[in-house]
């Protein structure tokens, strides 16, 4: 038996806003019968472009129905921009939490909301550049990445609990692992404390020493810091690099990229005048 | 609120008669049956009587009965013993609809290098013996097929299957956890080598099981320890539960007729009325060839967990094969093996009755189910206002 909060039970037994709005401003359908849950969301705006009414129809378990009910309650009165900021976590929190295995129900709510807003704005339904990773449940790489970032997920099992991806045939679990590793390697810009100048200089030095110089040395090259002015890092290329025609590319695509990733996204790298 | 318990394939209520015979053995008669003194020895005598009661229900010899802790232990013991006593053979045949006690064990054995064949079933959950015949090889150590399916109640022709295995010198085990007490079993009339029973499915307590081992069958114990159970299962006997199970088997023999008349009648009424009152519903599994107490009904376009929780609000207990109730994301492996469409499998509900259910209870469920289904369909995006399926979905 699932450990549902009273709030989940309340929204399951007496769901708010069941139904479909006629001539809605935004409409979306996510999930499918095969998945085991599906949600149709409709909303209507008032003259101030705020969500006047939102209704849902859901096929799914108690937490899917409760999440849909919570979602419609949360977004009423919001502008579409405000509504887009509602995350699956907000939906789960509104319900006093959901069991881990049921987090995908809140993600489904978030997906429906985004699609409905896209529909309102006349935008394409599929996120641009998104690729289906989980064929069984039709989950894209973008959806997986977002779930990982927003909920700080660390295992394939977590991803399955939140998005369903990998829960069917299991054939995409390797691909999910790769996405996890990719997202983990991303710089967490928001969480980084602001660096003092001294700290920043030290970090740049350390990063060049540890992460960059060994690679260049493998190719017979080297790098030296000439100066650091704010976010501008002035370097000189040595050894094989100094005569290499591709050193400009090395500088931007490798050195600058690594420093942006590991120290600060604002860093630019320039080569000192020869 | 009164509980209406229609989930007897999950577990059953301990019979009052069973509880009564067990009680003295918790506190007053707590002796160890292996002891030399009379205080313990008298418990040993009582266990012998229980072994005879179990043997009588099965048409077996008392020495063929080994008490275990549960059906899962019995299944594990049987299959592992076959592999240990036939170390040169590396092939196991089971079906796709076996209980996890067999299926998960075999998938682990598969990782250890054993070859596992999972026989398919047809859309009604029926096993084709021709497929079994084809699957048997000189490398096959054991065939393990369940007698009655826990989800659908469908019966397998295990006696014929055992003959087939025997002709090729292969051991045969059956998980009879659901069948025992519901259909007649007589081990004198078949060649099944090993058979598993679980106490709590036939009104004995949880934590007691039996492995029947035909006389003359080579056996290698799973739990190794003292000389209990003729060195076929180490560990001090669970005396109150063994004595309780003995009584439960005696009662089961007595109630078998009732199981196949009254219980069957109630099950059939429940099934017939629900199918009549609720459109887009159907029975999963062969309706002729199944346990008398079980029906598995799918209600299309809604999800099983939601149905169960609304039933729960009225005190009605049942089970579902939906993904959301299993903890995994896929609906029941049994329904999938039968090729039940996902749209049906997600909304499947299993009702399993016992001799303790009454006609009033069944009538109450018949009255309450249609509004529950209607309410959830009213919320479903696949069901339109006119009470029909949206065909474009």
For residue B289, what is the DSSP state?
Answer: S
Task: Please tell me the distance from the alpha carbon of residue A178 to that of residue B302, in angstroms, as a whole number.
Answer: 35
Cα–Cα distances in Å, from A105 out to A1, A111, B224, B278, B293? Answer: 17, 10, 47, 28, 35
A12, A13, A29: residue with CB nearest B381: A29
Q: Across the interface, do A137 and B380 touch by the CB < 8 Å criterion?
A: no
Length of chain B: 393
Task: Please tell me the distance from the alpha carbon of residue B356 to that of residue B317, in angstroms, as a whole number.
Answer: 14
Chain A nearest CA to B93, separation (Å): 23
Whether residue A60 lies within 8 A of chain B, CB to CB, comes out as yes
Tell me the residues of chain A between 127 and 156 that have a Cβ less than 8 Å away from chain B.
137
Closest residue in chain A to residue B381, using alpha carbons only? A57
Burial (Cβ within 10 Å: 0-12, 13-18, ≥19) of residue A76: middle
Give the pLDDT confidence score for residue A168 in this predicted structure: 74
Q: Across the interface, do A36 and B306 touch by the CB < 8 Å criterion?
A: no
Whether residue A24 lies within 8 A of chain B, CB to CB, comes out as no
Cα–Cα distances in Å, from B175 out to A22, B150, B209, B294, B362? Answer: 55, 10, 11, 17, 29
CATH architecture assigned to B4-10+256-379: Alpha-Beta Complex (3.90)
Q: Across the interface, do B342 and A33 touch by the CB < 8 Å criterion?
A: yes
Give the pLDDT confidence score for residue B253 in this predicted structure: 97
Task: Please tell me the distance from the alpha carbon of residue B106 to that of residue B142, in angstroms, as a whole number.
Answer: 11
Question: Is the CB of residue B43 less than 8 Å from the CB of residue B25?
Answer: yes
Q: Across the interface, do A61 and B342 touch by the CB < 8 Å criterion?
A: no
| Beta-carbon pairs below 8 A across chains A and B | 72
Give the pLDDT confidence score for residue B393 in this predicted structure: 36
Q: Of B302, B311, B307, which is closest to residue A57 (Cα–Cα)? A: B302
Whether residue B301 lies within 8 A of chain A, CB to CB, comes out as yes
Host H or E run for residue B342: helix B342-345
Question: Is the CB of residue B322 less than 8 Å from the CB of residue B280?
Answer: no
B301, B343, B379: residue with CB nearest A18: B379
Host H or E run for residue B166: helix B158-167
Name the CATH topology of A1-125: Sufe protein. Chain: A (3.90.1010)
Q: Across the interface, do A160 and B305 touch by the CB < 8 Å criterion?
A: no
Give the pLDDT confidence score for residue B391 in this predicted structure: 45
Q: Across the interface, do B329 and A167 touch by the CB < 8 Å criterion?
A: yes
Give which of B309, B340, B385 to mutate to test A binding, by max A Cβ within 10 Å: B309
Chain A nearest CA to B108, separation (Å): 17
Question: Is the CB of residue B331 less than 8 Å from the CB of residue A36?
Answer: yes
Taking the mean position of all CA atoms in its chain, how far away is CA B103?
A: 13
Q: Across the interface, do A39 and B381 touch by the CB < 8 Å criterion?
A: yes
Give the pLDDT confidence score for residue A167 in this predicted structure: 79
Spans of chain A below 70 pLDDT: 123-129, 188-194, 245, 274
Neighboring chain B residues of A55 at a CB cutoff of 8 Å: none
Spans of chain B below 50 pLDDT: 391-393
Q: Across the interface, do A167 and B330 touch by the CB < 8 Å criterion?
A: yes
Q: Per-residue pLDDT tens for B112-125?
A: 999 999 999 999 99
Whether residue B323 lies within 8 A of chain A, CB to CB, comes out as yes
For residue B261, what is the DSSP state?
Answer: I
The complex's ipTM works out to 0.86
Give strand pairing partners of B121.
B127
Whether residue B25 lies within 8 A of chain A, CB to CB, comes out as no
Chain A nearest CA to B393, separation (Å): 8
All CATH 3.40.640.10 domain ranges of chain B, comma separated, are 16-252
Sequence spans of domains, chain A: 1-125, 126-186, 197-271
Whether residue A162 lies within 8 A of chain B, CB to CB, comes out as no
Give B44's Cβ-side CA count (13 Å radius). 13
Question: Is the CB of residue B152 less than 8 Å from the CB of residue B296?
Answer: yes
Q: Helix axis angle, A103-121 relative to A62-75, nearest 10°? A: 40
CATH architecture assigned to A197-271: 2-Layer Sandwich (3.30)
Closest residue in chain B to residue A164, using alpha carbons only? B329
Q: Is B324 a catalytic residue?
A: yes
Widest distance between CA atoms in chain A: 75
Task: Please tell me the distance from the alpha carbon of residue A104 to that of residue A138, in angstroms, as a whole number.
Answer: 13
Chain B nearest CA to A157, separation (Å): 11
Q: Across the interface, do B328 and A59 touch by the CB < 8 Å criterion?
A: no
Q: Per-residue pLDDT tens for A73-104?
A: 999 999 999 999 999 999 999 999 998 888 88
Domain spanning A126-186 has what CATH number?
1.10.10.1100
Active-site positions of A? 35, 105
CATH 3.40.640.10 fits B16-252, yes or no: yes
Give strand pairing partners of A183.
none
Give the pLDDT confidence score for residue B230 in this predicted structure: 95
């Amino acid at each position: 038996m699932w450990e549902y909060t009273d709030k989940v039970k309340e929204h399951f037994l007496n769901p708010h806003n069941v139904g479909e709005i006629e001539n809605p401003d935004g409409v979306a359908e996510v999930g499918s019968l095969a998945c085991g849950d599906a949600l149709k969301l409709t909303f209507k705006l008032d003259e101030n472009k705020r969500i006047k009414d939102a209704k849902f129809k859901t096929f799914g378990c108690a937490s899917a129905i409760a999440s849909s009910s919570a979602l419609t309650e949360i977004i009423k009165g919001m502008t579409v921009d405000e509504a887009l900021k509602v995350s699956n976590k907000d939906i789960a929190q509104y319900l006093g939490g959901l069991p881990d295995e049921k987090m995908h129900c809140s993600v489904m709510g978030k997906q429906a909301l985004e699609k409905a807003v896209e529909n309102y704005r006349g935008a394409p339904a599929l996120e641009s550049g998104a690729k289906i990773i989980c064929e069984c449940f039709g989950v894209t790489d973008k959806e997986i990445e977002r779930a990982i970032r927003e909920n700080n997920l660390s295992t394939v099992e977590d991803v399955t609990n939140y998005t369903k991806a990998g829960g069917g045939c299991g054939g995409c679990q390797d691909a999910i692992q790769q996405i996890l590793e990719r997202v983990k390697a991303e710089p967490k810009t928001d969480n980084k404390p602001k660096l003092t100048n001294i700290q920043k200089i030290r970090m740049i030095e350390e990063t060049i020493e540890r992460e960059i110089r060994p690679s260049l040395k493998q190719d017979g090259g080297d790098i030296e810091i000439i100066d650091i002015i704010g976010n501008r890092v002035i370097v000189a290329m040595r050894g094989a690099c100094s005569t290499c025609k591709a050193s400009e590319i090395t500088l931007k695509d490798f050195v600058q990229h690594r420093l942006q990733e590991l120290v600060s996204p604002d860093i630019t790298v320039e080569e000192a005048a020869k | 609120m009164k509980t209406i318990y229609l989930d007897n394939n999950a577990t059953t209520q301990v019979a009052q008669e069973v509880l009564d015979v067990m009680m003295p053995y918790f506190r007053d008669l707590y002796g160890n049956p292996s002891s030399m003194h009379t205080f313990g020895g008298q418990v040993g005598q009582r266990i012998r009587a229980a072994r005879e009661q179990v043997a009588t229900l099965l048409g077996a010899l008392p020495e063929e009965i080994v008490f275990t802790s549960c059906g899962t232990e019995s299944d594990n013991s049987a299959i592992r013993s076959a592999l240990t006593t036939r170390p040169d053979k590396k092939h196991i045949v089971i079906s796709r609809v076996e209980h996890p006690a067999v299926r998960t064990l075999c998938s682990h054995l598969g990782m250890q290098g054993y070859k596992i064949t999972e026989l398919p079933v047809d859309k009604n959950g029926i096993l084709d013996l021709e497929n079994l015949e084809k699957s048997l090889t000189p490398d096959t150590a054991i065939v393990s097929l369940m007698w009655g399916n826990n989800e659908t109640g469908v019966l397998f022709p295990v006696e014929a299957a055992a003959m087939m295995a025997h002709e090729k010198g292969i051991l045969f085990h059956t998980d009879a956890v659901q069948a025992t007490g519901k259909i007649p079993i007589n081990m004198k009339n078949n060649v099944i080598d090993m058979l598993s029973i679980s106490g709590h499915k036939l009104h004995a307590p949880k934590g007691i099981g039996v492995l029947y081992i035909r006389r003359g069958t080579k056996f290698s114990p799973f739990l190794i320890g003292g000389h209990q159970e003729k060195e076929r299962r180490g560990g001090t006997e669970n005396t109150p539960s063994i004595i309780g199970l003995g009584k439960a088997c005696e009662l089961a023999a007595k109630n078998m007729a009732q199981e196949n008349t009254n219980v069957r009648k109630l099950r059939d009424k429940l099934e017939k009325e629900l199918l009549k009152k609720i459109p887009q519903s159907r029975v999963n599994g062969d309706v002729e060839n199944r346990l008398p107490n079980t029906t598995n009904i799918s209600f299309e376009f809604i999800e099983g967990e939601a149905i169960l929780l609304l039933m729960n609000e009225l005190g009605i207990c049942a089970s579902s094969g939906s993904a959301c109730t299993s903890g995994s994301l896929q609906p029941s492996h049994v329904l999938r093996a039968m090729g039940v469409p996902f749209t049906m499998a997600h909304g499947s509900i299993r009702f399993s009755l016992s001799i303790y259910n009454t006609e009033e209870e069944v009538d109450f469920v018949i009255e309450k189910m249609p509004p529950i289904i209607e309410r959830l369909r009213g919320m479903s995006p696949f069901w339109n206002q006119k009470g029909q399926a949206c065909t474009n979905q």
